[in-house]
Amino acid sequence: MEREKQYKDVTIKDVARRAGVAISTVSRVLNGLDKVSEKTEKKVRKAVEELGYVQNALAVSMVTGQTKTILMVVPDFTNDFNGSVIQGAEEYLKAHGYTMLIFSTKDFKEMDFENLYRRFSKLADGILVVPGNPDRMDYARWEKPLVLVDSYRPQGDYYTIEIDNERGTFLLTEELIKNGHRKIGLIGGIQDESASGRRVAGYLAAMKQYHIPVDQRLMAPGYHFEDTGSRGMAAFLSLPESSRPTAAVAVNNLTCIGCMKALAERGMRAGREISLAAFDDHLLARYSVPGVTVIERPTIEMGKEGARVLLQILEGEAPKEKRLIMESRLIRRDSVKYLPISGTRDRNR
Amino acid sequence: MEREKQYKDVTIKDVARRAGVAISTVSRVLNGLDKVSEKTEKKVRKAVEELGYVQNALAVSMVTGQTKTILMVVPDFTNDFNGSVIQGAEEYLKAHGYTMLIFSTKDFKEMDFENLYRRFSKLADGILVVPGNPDRMDYARWEKPLVLVDSYRPQGDYYTIEIDNERGTFLLTEELIKNGHRKIGLIGGIQDESASGRRVAGYLAAMKQYHIPVDQRLMAPGYHFEDTGSRGMAAFLSLPESSRPTAAVAVNNLTCIGCMKALAERGMRAGREISLAAFDDHLLARYSVPGVTVIERPTIEMGKEGARVLLQILEGEAPKEKRLIMESRLIRRDSVKYLPISGTRDRNR
DNA sequence: TTGTACGCGTTATCAA
DNA sequence: TTGATAACGCGTACAA
């Protein structure tokens, strides 16, 4: 009863009454579109202030058809790569008056995508997605502007924020080769599977370029999870010494962590018993001793760029180039041991 | 022109026309409230199916006054603690038909809170916040249901999801003491500051209980950032050996990481040159060699519980007990070295 | 420069 | 059991 009154929000109508003008005048002042005499503007602003009026974004969206909201979809929130991308995107959106809805596809069944589109189609103006691994989402059903961060779909004609995945693993593999390694394992990755496939390709390309035959036993394919890494590394370590790899490339942060876990459990360390180089920098790679050689990506910037491109599309100024390739770089640390014995001799450090 | 048509959404009106019934009937079918004859229900469902109709959540919210959305506020997305809390909360909300808006308070000025409340008051039914450090947000302005995750405001009469912070640092400190350490430093924490203050108190309580005088030089207070940790550890290491601590307690994940960074830069490691025990488990503590002894919290569950309590309040079934204290536990790893020399003698491992 | 009135897509109330 | 219609809060032609 009384309570009802209390929670009753002040509307544009209340402001109009208080200011002694029409609601359209209030609207005009608030949106600063048409000309309004200075005097009435002052009256309105005063009323707004006194009443503590706040626009009802819902009602605005109803009539304008815009929600000023974008939906961000990520595989899960506990992966620091996703966290960084979200951070960058959220900052950009916030700074440009947009609000962010968020949705995680963890434990998602493919069927669920349909519901996702239904559920959010009216709630957001556009969608920014970090694909999972595997990357099987059918984006075609989403009819509004869409930007993919860290996906590889050259045929799909989507707006994407990428880095050169193939080059990344190529550099990692090359780094190992240049340090004298020839028995190099690959941990994780699925051939022909989106970005993951590109990373496998980079490994193979480096091996080929340096004329090193690929040993299938040294490839431990799998999706980009920690488990793939720990199992892959365990498998390598159980090989007879003659065929055991002296180094390994992990395809992403989680597989790298899995490798390090497997090593730690055996009292071993990357750069001692086996060398390691991985895609994506992370806490453990950075601060463990020895540190792990990695490909670093501008994760926060990728999120920011994704948001920027999305808003550009919404403003009707879509960039001509659909694929935006960002820079990545190799960070050398001590997980790569120099093997002077056999193989290539030129040290690169 | 044509394009306009394409993007024109199908509304309840279209469904009604197609089914040959009134819109109110369609609404009834959709919401399953009143009785509807089986025949008309079938007609309506068919029309919905054929047209691919989806309710416009905005319009629903306009009239019901509920948005079925909650706002989650976190300090930033790159901290894995926040990531886990978000993960838990998002899963719970999603499963209960709620949508999650998200907002980061990184680089937030206190003044900005007012805008935050204004901006989201009409967009969300409730708010779930993980406070920053410092924890100075004025929640009183937010008039809707609110739940704090990991905040300590016993006087504020808020709904909170907590763990026993004081007990946490007490256990960490005690663990060091029981392993023979007496010169124990504290890294981070601000006295009398919310949860942070409780952690300082836990350290002091343990020292007192074991009759160890507190040396002010061994307290390196500061907010819960990485920098506080690396500087604190650096300061400890530069003390003359006679007064240098043999062990340190870090108040959270970031300060712990800072400590480990400082050690790594000097070629040192926790558990060798100095012992370390910290609040919050994380990647680096778990998998680095040696692993770090920590207090582990049920982070995902904390998010989940926060969401649960919030929805309970929204359903009008607010729990009687405002503070929900969750369990945490000590995980022993190898960063605590046993010092048999002087001091307490009973080993606890 | 300002005001009137319609429409956005729903739910809910009241009649029929 | 169904239908007509008034809200919800706002933006915006159009009229004044």
CB B18 within 8 A of CB B25: no
In chain B, how long is the greatest CA-to-CA distance? Answer: 90
Tell me whether A57 touches chain B (CB under 8 Å): yes
- pLDDT bin (cut points 50, 70, 90) of residue B2 is very low
Minimum mean pLDDT range among A9-23, A87-101, A197-211:
A9-23
Residue A117: pLDDT band with limits 50, 70, 90: confident
Residue B347 has pLDDT above 80, yes or no: no
Residue contact A87–B103, C-beta within 8 A: no
Contact, B169 vs B177, CB < 8 A?
no
The alpha carbon of residue B121 is apart from the nearest alpha carbon of chain A, in Å, by: 9
CA B317 vs CA B128, B271, B308, B310, B313: distances in Å: 17, 49, 11, 10, 5
Q: Do A9 and B122 touch (CB under 8 A)?
A: yes
Digit-coded pLDDT (tens) for A284-339:
999 998 999 999 999 999 999 999 999 999 999 999 999 999 999 999 999 999 99
Alpha carbons A235 and A221: distance in angstroms, whole number: 12
Is residue A1 very low, low, confident or very high in pLDDT (cuts 50, 70, 90)? very low
What is the Rg, in whole angstroms, of the alpha carbon atoms belonging to chain A? 27
Task: Categorize the per-residue pLDDT at B342 as very low, low, confident or very high, splitting at 50, 70 and 90.
Answer: low
pLDDT-based confidence at residue B116 (cuts at 50, 70, 90): confident
Distance of alpha carbon A288 from alpha carbon A294, whole angstroms: 13
What's residue B156's pLDDT? Answer: 75
pLDDT at residue B1 is higher than 50: no
Task: State mean pLDDT over A20-37.
Answer: 87
**Nearest chain A residue (CA) to B107:** A91
Contacts for A148 with CB less than 8 Å, ≥ 6 apart: A129, A130, A131, A139, A158, A159, A160, A161, A306
CA atoms of A45 and A28, how far apart (whole Å): 11
Q: What residues contact A13, with CB distance under 8 A and at least 6 apart? A: A23
What count of Cα atoms within 13 Å lies in the side-chain half-sphere of residue B259? 33
B54 touches strand C (CB under 7 A): yes
From the list B62, B86, B143, the residue facing A58 with the nearest CB is: B62
Which domains does chain A possess? 2-64 (1.10.260.40), 69-164+299-326 (3.40.50.2300), 165-297 (3.40.50.2300)
pLDDT at A175: 98
Q: Does A11 touch chain B (CB under 8 A)?
A: no
CB contact under 8 A, A289 and B269: yes
User: pLDDT (tens digit, 9 = 90+) per residue, A63-107?
Assistant: 999 999 999 999 999 999 999 999 999 999 999 999 999 999 998
Residue of B130, B151, B145, B124 lying closest to B313 (CA atoms): B145
* Tens-place pLDDT, residues A141-200: 888 999 999 999 888 789 999 999 999 999 999 999 999 999 999 999 999 988 999 999
State how far residue B47 is from chain A, nearest Cα, in angstroms. Answer: 16
Question: Residue written as tokens 């790679």?
Answer: A285
- Position B17 scores a pLDDT of 94
pLDDT band at A340 (very low <50, low <70, confident <90, very high): confident
- Could you tell me whether strands A99-104 and A69-74 are parallel, antiparallel, or unpaired per DSSP bridges? parallel
Quick one: pLDDT band at residue B138, thresholds 50, 70, 90?
Answer: confident
pLDDT digits (tens, 9 = 90+) for B179-238: 999 999 999 999 999 899 999 999 999 999 999 999 999 999 999 999 999 999 999 999
pLDDT per position as a tens digit, A219-278: 999 999 999 999 999 999 999 999 999 999 999 999 999 999 999 999 999 999 999 999
Neighboring chain B residues of A54 at a CB cutoff of 8 Å: 118-119, 121-122
| Local confidence band at B111 (pLDDT 50, 70, 90 cut-offs) | low
- With a cut of 60, say whether residue B332 has pLDDT above it: yes
SS3 label, residue A11: coil
Which residue's CA lies closest to nucleotide D7 at its C1' atom?
B63
The residue of A8, A11, A56, A77 whose CB has the most chain B CBs within 10 angstroms, and thus the best one to mutate to test that interface, is A77
CA distances, B144 to each of A283, B117, B121, B122, B266 (Å): 38, 10, 8, 10, 50
Sign of CA dihedral A38, A42, A44, A45: positive
Q: At what angle do helices B80-95 and B299-314 cross, to 10 degrees?
A: 40
Whole-prediction pTM: 0.93
> Could you give the percent of chain B with pLDDT greater than 90?
82
Question: B311 burial class (0-12, 13-18, 19+ CB within 10 angstroms)?
Answer: buried
Bridge partners, residue A56, by sequence: none
